[in-house]
Structure 1
Amino acid sequence: MVPAAGRGERLGPGAPKALRELGGVPLLVHAVRALARSRAVGLVVVAAPADGVAEVVALLDGHGLDGKKDVRVVAGGATRQESVRLGLAAIPEDVEIVLVHDAARPLVPVEVVDAVAAAVRAGAPAVVPAVPLADTVKRVEPNPGRPEPVLDTPERATLRAVQTPQGFDRATLVEVHAKALAEEAAGGADAVPVTDDAGLVERYGGTVVVVPGHEEAFKVTRPLDLVLAEAVLARRRAADDY
């Protein structure tokens, strides 16, 4: 599943982030192709902007995706959590493993997709790919625009930068989203949206495990990320690897 209903304003004004182009092809198309390359993936569900479903269908069809794998496009929601819930509803009940992938991670290698799916198949209820951090990290007292006091320095060896696709036992993912929706409706303090689905599993006491990610599975969030992605894509194409 690819939730792609957001706008991604940090890339600047213009088209939604998922529709920005990388090497002449929208990020969303790259992300769907990345999932579809895996033999573990039989269906890709895209949660598109509610007013852009027809546009996304035409976009995917125009890039030769129809017929190669089952790709379905549904209307997403106002938040990432809502888009994932709506995407889940479009997945057949007999599908037991669900991968959730950011449209803004267009270059994730197929071996990462395979590793996440394999870990869920082996019994993990929730799996995230991740890479060690290269930089020292400081925890601060937030004070945007002004000097921020350092609270402490976490041990870098225990930290990981999480990527996608994240993989889940379907029942686990459905359960945590149902709990989050119920809390949201009740106005609970814990109803603040988390930034990834694994965070929901953690919130409700579930187990999440990490498998190795890849440096090329980075998220395209800012203009400089797009420059780096173009360089990676050019190298792959030169090596006939894409």
Structure 2
Amino acid sequence: MGVPKALVEIAGKTLLEWALEGAVTSGVATRLVVTVPVGDTQMRDICARFGALAVEGGNTRAESVTSALVALEDAPVQAGFDDAPITGVLVHDAARCFTPPQVFHAVIRALAAGQQAVIPALTVVDTIKTVDASGLVTGTPARSQLRAVQTPQGFDLATLRQAHREVKNLDPVTAEAITDDAMLAETLNIPVLAVAGHPHAFKITTPLDLALARVLQEDNYL
């Protein structure tokens, strides 16, 4: 895309701006922490406008999340909230910048009800096949048991911090295969609850995704 994904623009705003705006509008984010590349002043300036704390990310997704967790208490409290102890945390992806408020609310409700780990997800409409290294089909999982996972993913703060400490004890192959914090929780036998996601929370990864997002935004669909 020519620039860091978070700085790609749609309708005059970067994905990071849309994502931060969505988090603030949801009304559930008491503090905001964003991991940014070393030396990226544009992202830091955007974070400052939203009252978000920008911290340097790591070489891996897990390292970046750990950096954010360490800095969480240092982030300024958002307007309208008091400085209460933090018990839950949402891990969000700027590439899912049009996630609507109801998804944030669904995750928060599940955490408030006592869940340790919560993910928003959609049912799968395509038929999914498993294949071997040569490309031969090895199976067809039942769609009723499959979900496409989105963000924000929610966690009990103490649980997520402990999980990120324990990931260092996993063998390198297992650790490398972990693609999100929910999978980390699964690996450590922490129950993960799936709640309703939303089609607008799609991930903007490819040029086609970006083109679709721009068209939908121009048509006031998002």
Tell me if TM exceeds 0.5: yes
Q: Which aligned pairs between 1:162-201 and structure 2 lie closer than 5 A?
A: 162-183=149-170, 188-201=172-185
Partner of 2:82: none
2:58 is paired with a residue of what secondary structure? coil
Query: How high is the sequence identity, in percent, across the aligned residues?
Result: 41
User: Post-superposition, which runs of at least 4 consecutive aligned residues in structure 1 deviate over 4 A?
Assistant: none
The two structures, once aligned, show a CA RMSD in angstroms of 1.7
After superposition, where does 1:132-143 map in structure 2 within 5 Å? Answer: 132-143=123-134
Which residue of structure 2 lines up, in the alignment, with residue 108 of structure 1?
99
Please name the residue that 2:72 is paired with: 91
Unaligned runs of 5+ in 1: 1-11
Matched, 1:124 2:115: yes
The one-letter amino acid paired with 1:170 is L
Counterparts of 1:215-230 in structure 2 under 5 Å? 215-230=199-214
Give me the whole-angstrom Cα distance separating, in 1, the residues matched to 2:44 and 2:66: 20
- Distance change (3 Å), C-alpha of 1:136 and 1:72: same
- Letter paired with 1:219: K
Aligned partner of residue 117 in structure 1, secondary structure: helix
Q: Does 1:19 align with 2:3?
A: no
Contact 1:137 1:153 in 2 (8 A): yes
Deviation per CA, 1:94-142, whole angstroms, max 9, x where unpaired?
Answer: 3111000011101100110111111111100000000011100000013
Q: What do the CA deviations read for 1:131-188 (whole angstroms, capped 9, x no partner)?
A: 0111000000134xxxx100000001110000000000001100111011243xxx54
SS at match of 1:31: helix
Q: Which amino acid aligns with 1:194?
A: I
Match of 1:32 among 1, 17, 20: 20
Gaps of 5+ in 2: 75-84
Q: Given the two structures, how large is their TM-score scaled by the length of structure 2? A: 0.90
Matched with 1:152 is: 139
Q: How many residues align?
A: 212
Checking the alignment, whether the CA contact within 8 Å between 1:20 and 1:26 is kept in structure 2 is yes
- Partner-residue secondary structure (3-state), 2:141: coil
Q: CA deviation at 1:193?
A: 4.5
Distance in 1 (alpha carbons) for counterparts of 2:191 and 2:201: 23
Query: Which amino acid is the alignment partner of residue 176 of structure 2?
Result: V
Provide the TM-score with structure 1 as the length reference: 0.83
